[in-house]
Structure 1
């Protein structure tokens, strides 16, 4: 099948498929005489595996590791369990960060009722204040910003 068919069958964008090839997550497909990529069912299965991992917010490095275990089924799976445990710990940490962010935003929102002009807006006034890290060290600590800041 050509790349467009693979994309339709797996729900994955053509450019994403090419990206996974460049990252060597998907093996290079055969080529037709006209130099079109020709994919097999194994490519579709592997792409589904990768997409499932990405839906779980796994990094490319984590996916590489899981694919290695998938491709070499005689390896013990305790390392797979460890990888999932580590990923779960990362998710728990992100949840804590997001909860702290939510609380900060709720607190910020409570500073303004929307009745005054923006020159007297409590939100804008609060955002103009130094962060606690700035007050004590003179440096800004951006570690409070949640999100997928992991490598890969």
Structure 2
């Protein structure tokens, strides 16, 4: 199938597919005599794998590792599990950071009482160092 069909079948944008080829996440497809890329069902499956990995927040390098693990029958599920657990720990740390940022922003918004821009609590707070919570 052509790249437009591969994009539709995989849910990836055309430029994203080209980028994945460029960085080696997707093998370069064969081409027709007229130069059109030809994708196989295996390419579509790989693109879906990459897209799903991105949906779960894996970096492209982590996805590259997962693809290698998926293609090497000698690798154990423990290797995949270890990578997934590390990623989950990273996600939870980001959640904590986002929660902290939301709390700080809410505190700033609550302290805002309108008025003139020169007296704006929000703008003034953005000029201040971030207050770290004591945990």
Tell me which residue corresponds to 1:138: none
C-alpha RMSD of the superposition: 1.5
- With normalisation by structure 2, the TM-score equals 0.91
Tell me which residue corresponds to 1:129: 128
Tell me which residue corresponds to 2:17: 17
Cα deviation, residue 123, structure 1: 1.6
> How do 1:1-152 residues align onto structure 2 when only pairs under 5 Å count?
1-114=1-114, 116-131=115-130
CA–CA distance in structure 2, aligned partners of residues 40 and 74 of structure 1: 25
Tell me which residue corresponds to 1:148: none
Cα deviation, residue 5, structure 1: 0.7
Cα deviation, residue 127, structure 1: 2.4
Cα deviation, residue 39, structure 1: 0.6
Cα deviation, residue 69, structure 1: 1.1
Change in Cα spacing, 1:33 to 1:93, as seen in structure 2 (3 Å) is same
CA–CA distance in structure 2, aligned partners of residues 132 and 76 of structure 1: 44
Cα deviation, residue 51, structure 1: 0.4
Cα deviation, residue 63, structure 1: 0.5
Tell me which residue corresponds to 1:136: none
Q: SS where residue 27 of structure 1 aligns?
A: coil
Of structures 1 and 2, the one with the larger relative CO (CA 8 A, separation 6+) is: 1
CA–CA distance in structure 2, aligned partners of residues 98 and 130 of structure 1: 17
Count, aligned residues? 132
Cα deviation, residue 130, structure 1: 4.2
Cα deviation, residue 119, structure 1: 1.9
CA–CA distance in structure 1, aligned partners of residues 98 and 130 of structure 2: 18
